[in-house]
Structure 1
Amino acid sequence: MVIKYSNDFKESIVSLHKVGRSANSLAKEYNVSVSTVSKWVNQADPNNTKVLSANERALIKENKQLKEELDIFKTSSGAYGEKLIIKGRIPTLKIINDNLQVGHRITKILNVLRIPRSTYYGYIHWKPGKTLLRRNFIKQKVLDAWLKYPMYGYPRLTILLNRQLKIKISQRMVYKQMYALKIRSRMTKRINKPKTHTEYDQRPNLIKGLPDQSNILLTDITYIPVKNTWVYLASVYNPVTRRVISYKVGSHMTKELATDVINQVAVKSVKPSIIHSDMGSQYTSDLFESTLTRFGIKHSYSRKGQPGDNARIESFHSILKREYINFQEFKTINEAIAGIDSYIRWYNSDRISLVA
């Protein structure tokens, strides 16, 4: 006769086994066969699949496979097949390698992600071609050049690299590499400066429409920030050669400062026929006018409120500030003098011009 045992009885036997009782002692005490006690104990173990039916074991296996596939899919954010391959070799290999590191088999990974074996092994054995090697070489040279001359944009960097490397590099190539590197010319916006006004009547503009400006020099004064105040740079500029002829930094914007750079021009044996300036009080002063008369130089004036009449030197001062001054924090006028002197020497001798 088959004896049926209640679930409570079975659970009590299993509990006694868990606290250390052997199957033999339990069988003798409760008049149950040893095999029956062992069966109850095995059935109570959720990790023991030997006592499960074939269907139960198949379901466990399927669940395990589904979990593995889900884990693989998570690393690719659900992308597979062409949607994954289109991301490129490096991202795809990273996803595959991440799965390999946690113990998934390569066959399983490729099947789940629907990546052909030929594609995978092609990625592994890939070597860069000449075009890519050249592009990477240029990319590094672009970065090196920009780090040395951060004020340069892609047109000047292109000229510089063509000179240095002796190979033909297009502006488009340099632009694309700068875009990939997320770098750009560090030219900045202008800093607001004090406004100036003139109360003198308009004086003649002798260079407007003049076809030959080879014997003309431009002069102007600009503001330089130094520790919460201003110092002043007076310059004389050749609009044809685009070079600074003379310059001086002073703590005050005076007629003497404006005149000193004209005296420097005379000392250098440079004798222009015309000096062009704005209508500022320094340039309409008796000292400035008499100095020009002494050197036999005519004086030409910009129209009031029209800085474009003196555009070339205005442009130089703007470049000086946007490429250099605005990135400095001068504490003294001597620091400003040294820094400006160094920049102007570089500007005159080495800075690449985009104008033929």
Structure 2
Amino acid sequence: MATRVSYPVEIKMKAIEMRLAGVTKKQIMQELNIKNKTQIQQWMRWYRSGDVHRLQQPVGKQYSFGRGPMYDSELEQVKAENRFLKQQLDVPKKVRGVGKEVSPEVIVPWMESIRGQVSVSQACAWLGIPRSTYYRWKAAYGKRNEDLVVGKIRQLCIQHKFRYGYRKITALMRAEMSINHKRVQRIMQREQLQCRVKVKKRKTTGQPSYVADHLLLRQFQASAPMQKLVTDITYLPYGSKLLYLSSIMDLYNGEIVAYSISDKQDTSLVLDTLYQLPDQPGMMLHSDQGSVYTSQAYQAAVKGKGITMSMSRKGTPADNAPIESFHSTLKSETFYLDNFICTTTAIVVQIVQNYIHYYNSIRIQTKLNNQSPIQFRQLAA
């Protein structure tokens, strides 16, 4: 059996003063040669509860229940009694109004705020409630708090139509509270709130054949807006007739800077999109080798705006991955998600327009520090 170590009152008081000054327990133990940090914790409990007299008790001498503390003088005894009575009068005022019963919604957060300063037994005695009641309230309060978190996660998932995974939901939750991403993932899996976006499919085969050099070389990062642009056309077979969407993306922040919708996939479609770009020198525009992009009219219009043209290798859509990914995301988070198989042409156009506005202004992206493309560009400026 280990020998108990007895420390002088001066050492105990010095440890308390250092702890109140913010010195860590490890530093106190090293400087004062104290064996165990629990001794420092016990001394601090005695100090905060007003039982300073217990610092003088011998090793192994325990406080006798019901007998009360022993004081060196009558003045110390009166001070201790006054402090205890003041705590009994003041503490309930902090946690309940006049004429109101003590409620778990008030008691549990208050008890957490004084953790380490006052024991649970002492705080319950001040409030006039049993310890078992407090722990029962605490368990029920924790369950209600969990229900609130689950409700907030479900609200965000429904608000964004299940387009976000747990990482983006965590980013939105952290704007209001501190929460771990693993907890969000666990709740979303348990409540079946996972992202419902369709899995993307890609092909990686193809032969090199082009009419313009492949200058982009899959370097999909840009240091300034309107420096590197990518464009493509996708089908919209959801209305009464087949529509085509031509869009241009700025690789700096992933923003859709120009787009056009038409019922014909011809040169006029891509020219309408191209003419929406500002006249700014130094831009590079990358596309695939579609007939509309290799046409003389389009090539002349690109050169007329002072834009450098870049083209993917034949049969290699990965060379133009960002805009391909955007078109897949648009369909997955709108038509596929809402099961729009056959609707009117006007509704198809409205859905695309609304989603592009949502994508640019509201939809956060992890690579943009959980900001939307427009927010990222404005903050960078």
Class of the TM-score when normalised by the shorter of the 2 chains: 0.5 to 0.7
- Structure 1 residue 202 displacement after superposition: 4.7
3-state secondary structure, aligned to 1:283: helix
> Counterpart of 1:139 in structure 2: which amino acid?
V
Describe the shift of the 1:228–1:333 C-alpha distance in structure 2 as closer, same or farther (beyond 3 A).
closer
Describe the shift of the 1:348–1:271 C-alpha distance in structure 2 as closer, same or farther (beyond 3 A).
farther
1:172 matches 2:182: yes
> Counterpart of 1:231 in structure 2: which amino acid?
L
Moved over 6 A (4+): 197-200
- Distance, in Å, in 2 between the alignment partners of 1:198 and 1:294 is 30
**Any conservation in 1 of the 2:210–2:313 contact (CA below 8 Å)?**
no
Q: 2:151 aligns with which of 140, 146, 152?
A: 140
User: What is the match of residue 188 of structure 1?
Assistant: 198
- Structure 1 residue 291 displacement after superposition: 0.6
Q: 143-152 or 327-336: which moved more? A: 327-336
- Kindly tell me the number of residue pairs found equivalent between the two proteins: 226
User: What is the match of residue 251 of structure 1?
Assistant: 263
**Any conservation in 1 of the 2:245–2:260 contact (CA below 8 Å)?**
yes
> Counterpart of 1:156 in structure 2: which amino acid?
K
3-state secondary structure, aligned to 1:178: helix
- Structure 1 residue 135 displacement after superposition: 1.9
Describe the shift of the 1:203–1:264 C-alpha distance in structure 2 as closer, same or farther (beyond 3 A).
same
> Counterpart of 2:235 in structure 1: which amino acid?
Y
- Structure 1 residue 213 displacement after superposition: 5.9
The superposition leaves residues 184-242 of structure 1 with CA deviations (integer Å, 9 ceiling, x where unpaired) of 111024699xxxx9997453111216675641111100111224652110000011211
Alignment of 1:1-356 (within 5 A): 126-127=136-137, 128-149=139-160, 150-163=162-175, 165=176, 167-189=177-199, 201-208=210-217, 214=224, 215-227=227-239, 229-266=241-278, 269=279, 273-326=283-336, 327=338, 328-329=340-341, 331-355=343-367, 356=369
3-state secondary structure, aligned to 2:242: strand
Q: TM-score, normalised by structure 1?
A: 0.58
The superposition leaves residues 122-157 of structure 1 with CA deviations (integer Å, 9 ceiling, x where unpaired) of 99x944344433322111101111111121111111
**Any conservation in 1 of the 2:208–2:314 contact (CA below 8 Å)?**
no
> Counterpart of 1:289 in structure 2: which amino acid?
Q
Describe the shift of the 1:245–1:309 C-alpha distance in structure 2 as closer, same or farther (beyond 3 A).
same
Describe the shift of the 1:270–1:168 C-alpha distance in structure 2 as closer, same or farther (beyond 3 A).
farther
- Distance, in Å, in 1 between the alignment partners of 2:331 and 2:155 is 23
The superposition leaves residues 237-270 of structure 1 with CA deviations (integer Å, 9 ceiling, x where unpaired) of 011211100111110111110111110113xx55
- Distance, in Å, in 1 between the alignment partners of 2:281 and 2:187 is 46
**Any conservation in 2 of the 1:198–1:281 contact (CA below 8 Å)?**
no
**Identity of counterpart residues, as a percentage?**
27
3-state secondary structure, aligned to 1:244: strand
Describe the shift of the 1:212–1:246 C-alpha distance in structure 2 as closer, same or farther (beyond 3 A).
closer
> Counterpart of 2:290 in structure 1: which amino acid?
G
User: What is the match of residue 16 of structure 1?
Assistant: none
Describe the shift of the 1:243–1:333 C-alpha distance in structure 2 as closer, same or farther (beyond 3 A).
same
User: What is the match of residue 40 of structure 1?
Assistant: none
Give the greater-gyration-radius structure (CA).
Answer: 1
Unaligned runs of 5+ in 1: 1-121
> Counterpart of 1:273 in structure 2: which amino acid?
M
> Counterpart of 1:322 in structure 2: which amino acid?
S
Describe the shift of the 1:271–1:136 C-alpha distance in structure 2 as closer, same or farther (beyond 3 A).
farther
**Any conservation in 2 of the 1:251–1:333 contact (CA below 8 Å)?**
no
3-state secondary structure, aligned to 2:347: helix
Describe the shift of the 1:185–1:289 C-alpha distance in structure 2 as closer, same or farther (beyond 3 A).
same
Q: 339-348 or 150-159: which moved more? A: 150-159
- Distance, in Å, in 1 between the alignment partners of 2:281 and 2:235 is 27
**Any conservation in 2 of the 1:198–1:280 contact (CA below 8 Å)?**
no
> Counterpart of 1:245 in structure 2: which amino acid?
V
3-state secondary structure, aligned to 1:184: coil
- Distance, in Å, in 1 between the alignment partners of 2:271 and 2:282 is 15
> Counterpart of 2:174 in structure 1: which amino acid?
N
- Structure 1 residue 182 displacement after superposition: 1.8
- Structure 1 residue 330 displacement after superposition: 5.2
